Amino acid sequence: MTGAAGFIGSHLVEELVGAGHHVRALVRYSSTGYRGMLDRLDPSVLDQVDVRYGDVRDPALMEALLADSGVVYHLAALIGIPYSYEAPRSYFDVNVAGTQNVLDAARRQDVGRVIVASTSEVYGSAQYTPIDEDHPLHPQSPYAASKVAADQLALSYQRTFGTPVVLVRPFNTFGPRQSPRAVIPTIIGQLLHRDDGRVELGALTPRRDFVFVTDTARGFRLAAATDDAVGSVFNLASGRSISIGELAGRIAALVGGADVRIETKDERVRPPDSEVEELRGDASRARQTCGWEPLVSLDEGLVAAIEDFRGHGVRDAERYWA
C-alpha cells in the first residue's frame, strides 16, 4: 500500500489487518523515522505491518515494493487544495508521475489488482445531483486536475495493457486522525481551543457529502475483493450533503460550547471560479457491485472525531488557531 501513513491509509491498514491480510506499507522517508498516522495504531496491529520507507516518485522502489503483491492500494498523493495553487508542479510530480510508477511496476510484477484512490473533487461543482460516475469531470484546482490525470492514466493502462485497475472515488472522508487543516478538524479545533465560540472559515455556502473514514476504508477493501469491479469507477458517498455553515453549527452543538460565531476570512476562501459549490454523490454502483454502503451516520462520526481531537489533536492544532 502506498500512502499508508496518511489519514485514510492508516484506517485502511487497520481494515486490512483486521480482515486477515498481510500489509506492506509504504511511508514517505524521513530521517526521523516518522510513520505518520501509523504511529497511532494499536501495537497489535502495527506489529503485523511490514513498513517500508521511500517515495512513489522512485520507479525502482515501486518495483521492489510491489514484488509478490496480490493487491496494490495506491493512496499516496499530495492532497492539500490550497497548496496546489502555490506549487502545482509538485502535485503532478507526485500524483501523476507517482501513479505511473505504480502502474508500471504493477504491470511488470503481474499484480492481481490495482486499487487507485481518486477524489470527488474531479467532478467540480455539480452539474446534477446526486453525482454518479458518469458525471463530467471538471477540475477546479491544480490538485483536482492532477487527480483527473492520474485517474485517466490508470484507466488507460487497464484498457491498453489489461492492468486490473479499479478507481475508488471517496467523497469527503472524515474521522479520527484527520489533518487539523481539513474542515471538520478545523471547526472542532477552534471550538475546543478558543473560549469565545469564534470559528474562522472560508466560504460557508458550499455543500459537501461526508463519509466516515471506516466506511471509506471498507469500500476500498470491498472494491479489491470484487472481481466485477475491474475497469470500473466507484463513488463512496452518503447521498446527502450539508453546507459548511450548517456543519459548523452542528459541530458546535455536539461540542456543547457557547453559541458559535462564524467569521469568513478572505485568506481561507478559494480563488474565484475555483470553489466547488456542491458535492453530493450517488454510490449505487458501489452498493450494487461491491455490496458497500455507509454504516456510520454524520452525527456518530462527528462525535468520534470530537473525542479523538480532545485526546490527540488540540496540541497539534494550536499553531493554526492561536
Active site (catalytic) residues: 143
Enter the DSSP assignment of 259: P
Cell of 295: 454504516
Distances (CA, A) of 261 to 101, 258, 309, 313: 47, 9, 20, 22
Distance CA 290, CA 241 (A): 23
Question: DSSP letter at 36?
Answer: G
Does residue 85 contact residue 147 with C-beta atoms inside 8 Å? no
| Dist. CA 299–CA 252, nearest whole Å | 12
**Strand 172-174, strand 242-243: pairing:** unpaired
The DSSP bridge pattern shows strands 210-212 and 172-174 to be parallel
Instruction: State the Cα–Cα distance between residues 7 and 195, nearest whole angstrom.
Output: 28
Q: Given CA atoms 144, 146, 149, 153 in this order, what sign does their dihedral have?
A: negative
Sign of CA dihedral 62, 64, 70, 76: negative
Grid coordinates standing for 195?
473560549
Name the percent of the chain in helix, strand, coil, to the closest 5. 45, 15, 35
Question: CB 322: neighbour CB atoms within 10 A?
Answer: 7
Task: Fill in the amino acid letter for 189.
Answer: G
- For the record, the C-alpha cell of 70 comes out as 496480490
- Phi and psi at 80, nearest 5°, equal -70, 115
